[in-house]
Amino acid sequence: MSGLPGASTCPGPGEASDLKSPLGAKFREPLTEARFQQLFGDAEQEPELLAEPRWSRLRRLWKRRARACSGPGPWPLLRARLPPLRWLPHYRWRAWLLGDAVAGVTVGIVHVPQGMAFALLTSVPPVFGLYTSFFPVLIYTLLGTGRHLSTGTFAVLSLMTGSAVERLVPEPLEGNLSGIEREQLDAQRVGAAAAMAFGSGALMLGMFALQLGVLATFLSEPVVKALTSGAALHVLVSQLPSLLGLPLPRQIGCFALFKTLAAVLTALPRSSPAELTVSALSLALLVPVKELNVLLASVLCFTSSLDTRYNIQIVGLLPGGFPRPLLPNLAELPRILADSLPMALVTFAVSASLASIYADKYSYTIDSNQELFAHGVSNLISSLFSCFPNSATLATTSLLVDAGGNTQVAGLFSCMVVLSVLLWLGPFFYYLPKAVLACINISSMRQMFFQMRELPQLWRISRVDFAVWMVTWVAVVTLSVDLGLAVGVVFSMMTVVCRTQRVQCLALGLAEGTELYRPLRESHKLLQVPGLCILSYPTPLYFGTRGQFRRILEWHLGLGEGGKEAPKTDGPPDAVAEPVRVVVLDCSGVTFADAAGAREVVQLASRCRDAGIHLLLAQCNASVLGTLTQAGLLDRVTPEQLFVSVQDAAAYALERLELTGPKTCTVWV
């Protein structure tokens, strides 16, 4: 039980106070919600508007939204959907152009081998990785709001796409396909990958139409980092057959990582010493001279005839130019919808989080809904050119920033590099061993593996986030990337729900000489008054917390099932508990209330009235107050029992308790 001290808090004329008042304190009358609206609200708004029907409020909000939508003309809408129209007129050509050019060329050089490597991870020919490193980058440059974001092929999406492609278009069990049969199989797999890009792009555009950019918040940072770290381990294991020269079928589904490890260990005696040597040399040289290593490997394979002498698999001919635009087979969409949804979520989550990180670092803002639009259009249009799902990438984004990139113009220079390979330089990669591309896939995972170094710090900051990280990572590794993502999101949401269940309702007391109310457990020097209880309930009031809310209030107010009991106290051990006559419920921490929670408050008001306890509500936000009103709260309490602050409610309570002191209570301001 807590509250303002006795009458000395509000001294009458000629009376001296034994409580130190704040320096230069002034006094005013307690303000109820109705009185506050009369003084500071709209002139035509009456207290009865608190009981405005829900349909009327919805109609008013709809009209307001309609006016907002019909206001802007086509030019503001065009500027919102094409960000270069906003930032290009302010582009600092002398200061930024050189940095964008150097960064763009550097990222483009990385895109070439990385795109071909991730294409193999997607189970499509290498050239389609180059297409995916060109079209999405160009489209995002025109539509994206992340100035430092680099898009293209991404290992996690390639792994998810490859697993789905292998399931939808499996390789025949007899193997030993002819050249024509191999081309037909590749064409079917390319079509399936493009259909998944089309599906994920369509889903993101649907999310954009519904303005669901807020969904990015449900993929927390521990979930995203654990997802990418677990997927990196999948990539590492999936590339072992290519590193060792083992023609093993790709494992898909749950426990694919362990199935692949078992198959590799079983077939290890049949590994190719030549490909193993090439892989070892590539890994040794890949970190310091990544791009040079690709050229060295191509020259070595050509001069030594490794492809014919030792049967080493090579990239082969890269078709010049661009593929003919082709609409993916829409009949496949129902089959790939379950795969497209997690891809769309991963695309948006990774891209939005990366864009936010660099936007905060360089002091600009991004539009999450516009990011949905940009990546949706990027995947949708690029699928017409046989591209597979794409998103922002961790490695190339970091490289772009380190190389001095400033704006999306860097993406244009990156496209020029990839375009030159598609048009002229493709034949130089004919003899590139596929084992080198597998090494590139592994080396690209370094940053994702390094994320595990943050675990000790995460343990110190939040054990709950650490648990979310570990559960997501274990689920991704043991099950699959998409199922692990689902497990991580569900577990993360469960931790939020559980934390709302474990919140404590705090009894407050007044710090002497101030108007600050603090929990009584913090200090025994806080002031209390017998018969007055001030409670703070700092959590949303919904169907999941209504039972806890009822039990806590019964405990504090002595409203047990067997009748009125002695109330509990959080004060000193020797404090004598007295019957509660007035309770002030601080609702500032109740961010929202649903129908079940609102009915619980109404029932509480009825029980308090029957028990002779005066209930006062303080600091209810407009949404909570509207929900309580619709649930019938004003049938149990009067508008004079709804206050704008705890201080106002406590000052009113002094008069209600009929303590010695002034007849009109005031509060400090």
In the numeric block, which tokens belong to residue 196?
């998944």
Rg (CA), the chain: 33
Q: Are 569 and 521 in contact (CB under 8 A)?
A: no
* Burial class, 557, CB count within 10 angstroms (exposed 0-12 / middle 13-18 / buried 19+): buried
Residues 6 or more apart in contact with residue 612 via CB below 8 angstroms? 581
Angle between helices 93-121 and 409-420 (to 10 degrees): 50
Alpha carbon 137 to chain centroid distance? 23
Alpha carbon 73 to chain centroid distance? 32
In the numeric block, which tokens belong to residue 612?
């002779």
Q: What are phi and psi of 647, to 5 degrees?
A: -60, -40
Question: Rounded CA gap, 493 and 471, in Å?
Answer: 13
| 83-109 as b/e: b if 16+ CB within 10 A | bbeeeeeeeeeeebeebbbbbbbbbbb
Residues 6 or more apart in contact with residue 567 via CB below 8 angstroms? 1, 533, 556, 557, 558, 577, 578, 579, 580
Q: What is the pTM of this model?
A: 0.73
Q: Would strands 667-668 and 642-643 be described as parallel, antiparallel, or unpaired?
A: unpaired
109 three-state secondary structure: helix
Q: What angle do CA 9, 14, 19 make, to 5 degrees?
A: 25
Question: Rounded CA gap, 553 and 556, in Å?
Answer: 5
Alpha helices by DSSP H, listed for 384-454, are: 394-402, 409-420, 434-443, 446-450
Residues 6 or more apart in contact with residue 174 via CB below 8 angstroms? none
642 three-state secondary structure: strand
pLDDT of residue 416: 94
Alpha helices by DSSP H, listed for 245-332, are: 256-267, 273-286, 290-304, 306-309
Q: What angle do CA 566, 504, 559 make, to 5 degrees?
A: 25
Beta strands in 99-242 (DSSP E): 151-152
DSSP assignment of 458-515, as one string? HHHH-HHHHHHHHHHHHHHHHT-HHHHHHHHHHHHHHHHHHHHHT--PEEEEEPTTSS
Neighbouring-strand partners of residue 582:
532, 614
In the numeric block, which tokens belong to residue 542?
């919904």
Question: Rounded CA gap, 275 and 247, in Å?
Answer: 12
Which H helix or E strand runs over 104? helix 93-121
Torsion 390-245-444-99 (CA) sign: negative
- List C-alpha distances in Å: 67 to 61, 71, 76: 10, 6, 15
Which H helix or E strand runs over 624? helix 622-630
Residues 6 or more apart in contact with residue 502 via CB below 8 angstroms? none
pLDDT of residue 510: 74
Angle between helices 273-286 and 434-443 (to 10 degrees): 40
- Where the chain has pLDDT below 70, the residues are 1-28, 41-73, 174-175, 216-217, 285-316, 513-514, 522-527, 560-577, 656-669
pLDDT of residue 25: 46
- List C-alpha distances in Å: 325 to 149, 384, 424: 27, 5, 21
In the numeric block, which tokens belong to residue 606?
């009825």
Q: What angle do CA 99, 105, 108 make, to 5 degrees?
A: 135
pLDDT of residue 375: 93
Neighbouring-strand partners of residue 506:
536
DSSP assignment of 11-76, as one string? --TTPPPSSPPPTT--EE---BHHHHHHHHS-TT--GGGGG--HHHHHHHHHHHHHHHHHSS-HHH
Q: Are 419 and 133 in contact (CB under 8 A)?
A: no
Question: Rounded CA gap, 20 and 564, in Å?
Answer: 36
